[in-house]
Amino acid sequence: MNKYANAQSISIDVDIQDDHLKMQIIDDGVGFDTAIAKPGIGLSNMKRRAELFSGKLSIDSSPGNGCTITVQIPIENIDALEIKESAKS
């Protein structure tokens, strides 16, 4: 994010809400117009990874106002991954 955002501050918040895990990455950088900007490789990869867990990624940003990236993943899909990974061990 520092490479493009020129942010002075970046925070990552993770929370469990109802039936999903919610993660927000928030910066105070330059922001961008989401209607014009095309997602780069990093954001595309994040979106693809969220979708692998039946999750979703959203971006809230505007020029001069920083950026908030929100990822929401259903908890049942996280639990299924943990069971699958445990079985490999």
Task: Say what the pLDDT of residue 85 is.
Answer: 57
For residue 21, give Cα distances in angstroms to 15, 66, 80.
6, 23, 14
CA distance 85 to 78: 11
* pLDDT in the model for residue 5: 82
**Residue ranges of the chain with pLDDT lower than 70?**
1-3, 39, 77-89
d(Cα 2, Cα 4) in Å, to the nearest integer?
6
pTM of the predicted model as reported, rounded to 2 decimal places: 0.77
- Span 2-88: which CATH code? 3.30.565.10
pLDDT at 84: 54
Residue 82: per-residue pLDDT: 58
pLDDT at residue 86, as a whole number: 59
